[in-house]
Structure 1
């Protein structure tokens, strides 16, 4: 069956259907704020002759290069060794989750369609037209469609996480924040690197880049990543019922070519072409793996076994290109950023998580009321964006930026249904088309009020329009009660203002107020639910923080406290007894907390990195009710309502509940110890990340509450020949912690689990 919970929850990534000087005040503030946000800097190597000191970290959070210590907002970064360590075991973009304060990433699509949450603010919607309040910006181009957001991270300068509304200077839908990824750009001179790792389950991660000058004016850079894992999960359903016997493997290939003209001259042009091809398993849904009345795995759970009679497959291809043209004029610089993206996907899986059905001779494991095998496909996708931005370059107390932004996206998403009991025979499909047009005008000014006091402020006007139309196709009993097509539009002015005070040359205090908006949304009708829509949501965020370098740059700390309010937050209500997927708007939601990061050399050869956050979120709408689950035990207050057909339904009040997938606590710790030798260094590196429990859905129940999750990594290596070569052994999730980290609110206690433990070795060479 397809619709509402089935297809969306199958959340199967759709694919081409072909188809841180000691300041007492600073320390006092840090203590008051702690655990309070900051910077991930331990990845940066110190400058020559400065062993045991932290290097300056430069970011582009405000669209120009500047020290992270002077940016008046919470900015966290990941780069260098940290990314190498995370990438070595073949993980996808979800590996960034918890690595900086307040960041959570999860997916019910597997390696595609990551869902981002910053400070607990995100969107659990799994539809292929879902919008997210956290925007992903890759090489200055917004990746709007959720399938585009999963593009692999390789050969990058770093990852920046900007917390809080970022609407003044960034594209669309940024009320929660931005995850910004920038590739290494072409440089003068020939060089590059290559890296290969091999580990458990036949996991291979091959990555490399070549930088090659083409002429006096042209430089180029070619980068590639190839990831592979063998199928390591065995289907234990009766052989005659199986459509897929071995699962959870993948082949994920991505490449990027860049060409730079005129570096160092008044006119520069950077051209970027990139592509991805993914072929592997969709998310594995496992029926009845949660013990009723708790969030424990059942006693006989085996991560290497599933019991499915449905087919499992996932395919995705994407191709994109962008051009960044820059003209250095008299006192100003003009940027033109043009982006084109296209992605096709198809993902198919067994939503009921088992085989057979209760009305058939055999079924399992546990209760399988009826079979459900579905797929989602994305085709005909096209995204075009254009940004024209003028930036001042004259020195003085005033600097500014202003520009125009245009965006257009069109695509077709199709929901498919198959009959598992008939060998996966196709039964029905329904296509939906959507177009989205948006334009914006924006401006931002920075002004030095005094040598130690600066003001930053910005405004943005955004207009957003969406049109959606669904064809019932061959789906029986299609719900047309709210129609099959609609359009929504909205216009909004958002802005931000920030003050930054340099207490001394090493310490900055800041305060920031910002607003953000996410455009109205539409969810298509299906065989289980009518079409639904939600009005635009708006957010207002308040933040104060401190950033300081201590002990002659041997330590760096940043901390902040924040509070935000969201009006008309778009919530996706999924599953339950009605097996539906509809949009609802909460009158209000709020979040508040503290964030911090500390990076410090404890000795010349021992580097410590700590970060953490406390996030308290709450839905504030006394009248908002949602349906409950079929087999779990909701703990929220309930009432009974009468449906249009006269039947009764139990619903649950969610006022006061935390936002879904919003852990209260997030923490990360890294420790690196090196032993220099005559020709290089031996080192040991360990990293640990912790996230507290999370609610999977809007209502609360013990079964659909994810347990706290702590995972650790270990790496032992040797670097020699002035850093040209590195050989390392590594382990990920070394304690082999396995918990349910997502669920399907279907008709049984179906869930999915985190990544397994892996061991491996890596060799890297620079040239």
Structure 2
């Protein structure tokens, strides 16, 4: 991988040296808000004109978040209403918007938050983790988006748009070195290649050395590192004025460490980290691979392409997007988080050992979308389209006791949709949309536990499961209105209906359990908001209030004494809340941003119960459950909040600069993100909930406008907070903690 990086870096350096023309004009700083253009409705619009609650990230605000080598999870809590976490390291992120998400850690899990990268949906959880680099803008679009983006968008979407090729030459290179021998290298070069052909190549390399000791094996610095390489090559063809064709080819290779599980870092009756927690030390005894201590290795690769065609004719625009993704890889985890079992286990008491490896093989995702849209300045604008999705892959789960099990997943979806917007007057615009979707899923169990120790000793047997086929078709719709009070302020209202397709969960098959199926969930959402640019266009203040209900809401019942992972449907889930986004340009030197969200979620099913922390019909829970309990040791979860749904999120940034001569400035930039009360599981307990988590970042540097370079010192997790991000509850108090403080220096230079 290092040789590949060297080759890419050499290509970029050569391209930079080939063009020595550097912009000499000093950048003019504006004391007014920039116009933000979004494509939340699949056409370019001002964010202030779209009747949807949207927040964006770009530029320094986006780049600062990832300066320490962070992955896509760094977006968590950086936008009001947005959260993310994972128990699978740098892959398989789980996203939540307005409290709605999915805690399922299976590689076949579905989510109600859709990830769209360069106009292509990334459905599988591995595809969702593609590294972020050379990004033009991120749009966090809150609330159901089923009309234009399809099923599995009941919570919203996160839309990433990379920088596209143009005829004008531009390039940049960025290098940072930081704590734990972290080295990040990022660059891009683009411009016209021939008449009517432009290209752009960009890449990212992230490397960190292992820094965590395995005290059980006596090995120092064997866990926690990673080596990530990703790239993107784009070609833009414009053979005639009204035709654009964009080819996007991309790839990603990752070698690193899966999640760090830490046994017994809570004491019964408390959610505070105890004396067993040491950020740089774990006790792992897993030897599933048979070649020494495993130390939670992880390895994935992903390659794909998309081909987008836009053709304008007779006041219309025809769009075609064809895309294909492929991925393979594996993660291994010492899931109990410690070593040994019984009275000799460390740290703390671990009833039995647990280690698993999940392999994703032969993932293929093909998508095709066609759209026809009006392209004029008339009062009525419309678009219609069709969408096709085909995905297949297999997942092999390997357990140290039961052996290996392989299951095969297949999913096919097609849909037709339409949306229209009508300007009833200069002030009032109404939008309506409709989508019909047909979704089919199937599951087949392949080899099962044929090599497990449990089978040899008679503690397990090979099960025979018939193939499972489920299908559903639904109509989703939306209606919204935007009313302009004046040139700087507008009000909007929106009603949206959408659904998350039925799901199949087969992880329990690996542990002598049966597959589970969840029916489709349907959401009805209402929101009202305002968007305003105030104080002579120096203050942008956008806000929305919302209420939604989800019928047959899908949850994952994870844990219990048998560590089951079963899909369930609750009768209903509901939530209400609000979010506020603000940007204030105080003067030429000081810019402030702030955001706040409140999400009150509630499970509504008076008969629904789950086994909590280590419980079974014969044994009670290990933790301090605060829910009512049934006679067979199940927790009644009616009235509980959704799992991993922060009740509040608050974030703010501040940038202060001091001019240095005519062509530069010194600057200080800081960002802070706070996460309120969050329940980790479906049931409530004293131990498995968090509150008042926060992280901060800081950048101090110099920017030169004449020669387009920046040098900065930075720190991520500035105060070195130890924040609990997740837990595993089936046999001890295992926790998953955030990344440590990272301090480094970064340099960036741009060429135009």
Same-fold status (TM-score > 0.5): yes
Aligned to 1:68: 47
Aligned to 1:677: 660
Residues 264/175 of structure 1: CA separation in 2 closer, same or farther (3 Å cut): farther
Q: Deviations over 1:378-428 (max 9, x none)?
A: 001100000000010122100001000000000010001236xxxxxxx61
Q: Deviations over 1:110-131 (max 9, x none)?
A: 1101100000000001111100
Q: Deviations over 1:27-64 (max 9, x none)?
A: xxxxxxxxxxxxxxxxxxxx975621111111111101
Aligned to 1:756: 740
* SS of match in other structure, 1:69: helix
Aligned to 1:211: 190
Aligned to 1:16: none
- For the pair 1:122 / 2:106, whether they are aligned, the reply is no
Map of 1:408-487 to 2, 5 A cutoff? 408-418=390-400, 428-471=403-446, 472-474=448-450, 475=452, 476=455, 483-487=465-469
- For the pair 1:284 / 2:260, whether they are aligned, the reply is yes
* SS of match in other structure, 1:764: strand
Greater alpha carbon shift after TM alignment, 654-663 vs 283-292: 283-292
Cα distance in 1 between the residues matched to 2:54 and 2:403: 47
Q: Deviations over 1:194-246 (max 9, x none)?
A: 0001111111111000003210110000000000111010010144xx7x961
Unaligned runs of 5+ in 2: 1-25, 287-293, 615-621
Residue 480 of structure 1 deviates from its aligned partner by 8.2
Cα distance in 2 between the residues matched to 1:188 and 1:181: 22
Greater alpha carbon shift after TM alignment, 721-730 vs 472-481: 472-481
* SS of match in other structure, 2:553: strand
Residue 483 of structure 1 deviates from its aligned partner by 3.5
* SS of match in other structure, 1:168: helix
Cα distance in 1 between the residues matched to 2:93 and 2:376: 41
Q: Quick one: which of 627, 632, 638 aligns to 2:623?
A: 632
Residue 703 of structure 1 deviates from its aligned partner by 1.0
Task: Determine if contact 1:734/1:757 at 8 Å carries over to the other structure.
Answer: yes
Cα distance in 2 between the residues matched to 1:390 and 1:665: 40
Map of 1:361-760 to 2, 5 A cutoff? 362-418=344-400, 428-471=403-446, 472-474=448-450, 475=452, 476=455, 483-524=465-506, 525-630=509-614, 631-640=622-631, 649-678=632-661, 679-722=663-706, 724-760=708-744
Cα distance in 1 between the residues matched to 2:80 and 2:301: 32
Aligned to 1:255: 231
Cα distance in 1 between the residues matched to 2:370 and 2:94: 29
Aligned to 1:21: none
Q: Quick one: which of 146, 170, 175 aligns to 1:196?
A: 175
* SS of match in other structure, 1:561: strand
Greater alpha carbon shift after TM alignment, 137-146 vs 744-753: 744-753
Cα distance in 1 between the residues matched to 2:733 and 2:81: 29
Task: Determine if contact 1:726/1:763 at 8 Å carries over to the other structure.
Answer: yes
Cα distance in 2 between the residues matched to 1:484 and 1:204: 50
Aligned to 1:113: 92
Residues 560/723 of structure 1: CA separation in 2 closer, same or farther (3 Å cut): farther
Task: Determine if contact 1:528/1:578 at 8 Å carries over to the other structure.
Answer: no
Residue 484 of structure 1 deviates from its aligned partner by 4.6
Map of 1:351-370 to 2, 5 A cutoff? 351-358=335-342, 362-370=344-352
Cα distance in 1 between the residues matched to 2:130 and 2:381: 34
Task: Determine if contact 1:572/1:582 at 8 Å carries over to the other structure.
Answer: yes
Task: Determine if contact 1:401/1:443 at 8 Å carries over to the other structure.
Answer: yes
* SS of match in other structure, 2:74: helix
Cα distance in 1 between the residues matched to 2:669 and 2:28: 23
Task: Determine if contact 2:492/2:528 at 8 Å carries over to the other structure.
Answer: yes
Unaligned runs of 5+ in 1: 1-46, 420-426, 641-648
Residue 721 of structure 1 deviates from its aligned partner by 3.8
Residue 707 of structure 1 deviates from its aligned partner by 3.4
Greater alpha carbon shift after TM alignment, 713-722 vs 533-542: 713-722
* SS of match in other structure, 1:363: coil
- For the pair 1:332 / 2:332, whether they are aligned, the reply is no
Cα distance in 2 between the residues matched to 1:722 and 1:151: 34
Larger RCO of the pair (alpha carbons < 8 Å, separation 6+): 1
* SS of match in other structure, 2:510: coil
RMSD: 1.6
* SS of match in other structure, 1:214: strand
Cα distance in 1 between the residues matched to 2:498 and 2:422: 23
Task: Determine if contact 1:166/1:175 at 8 Å carries over to the other structure.
Answer: yes
Task: Determine if contact 1:479/1:529 at 8 Å carries over to the other structure.
Answer: no
Cα distance in 2 between the residues matched to 1:594 and 1:263: 47
Residue 572 of structure 1 deviates from its aligned partner by 0.4
Cα distance in 2 between the residues matched to 1:48 and 1:86: 24
Residue 358 of structure 1 deviates from its aligned partner by 1.5
Cα distance in 1 between the residues matched to 2:103 and 2:239: 43
Task: Determine if contact 2:445/2:465 at 8 Å carries over to the other structure.
Answer: no
Cα distance in 1 between the residues matched to 2:660 and 2:240: 39
Aligned to 1:29: none
Task: Determine if contact 1:167/1:173 at 8 Å carries over to the other structure.
Answer: yes
Greater alpha carbon shift after TM alignment, 657-666 vs 363-372: 363-372
Task: Determine if contact 1:706/1:742 at 8 Å carries over to the other structure.
Answer: no
Aligned to 1:12: none
Residue 482 of structure 1 deviates from its aligned partner by 9.4
Cα distance in 2 between the residues matched to 1:480 and 1:634: 36
Residue 299 of structure 1 deviates from its aligned partner by 2.5
- For the pair 1:766 / 2:721, whether they are aligned, the reply is no
Task: Determine if contact 1:130/1:145 at 8 Å carries over to the other structure.
Answer: yes
Cα distance in 2 between the residues matched to 1:48 and 1:501: 36
Q: TM-score, normalised by structure 1?
A: 0.90
Residue 632 of structure 1 deviates from its aligned partner by 1.1
Residues 714/491 of structure 1: CA separation in 2 closer, same or farther (3 Å cut): same
Task: Determine if contact 2:399/2:510 at 8 Å carries over to the other structure.
Answer: no
Aligned to 2:17: none
- For the pair 1:153 / 2:94, whether they are aligned, the reply is no
Q: Deviations over 1:270-299 (max 9, x none)?
A: 000000000000101111111211101112
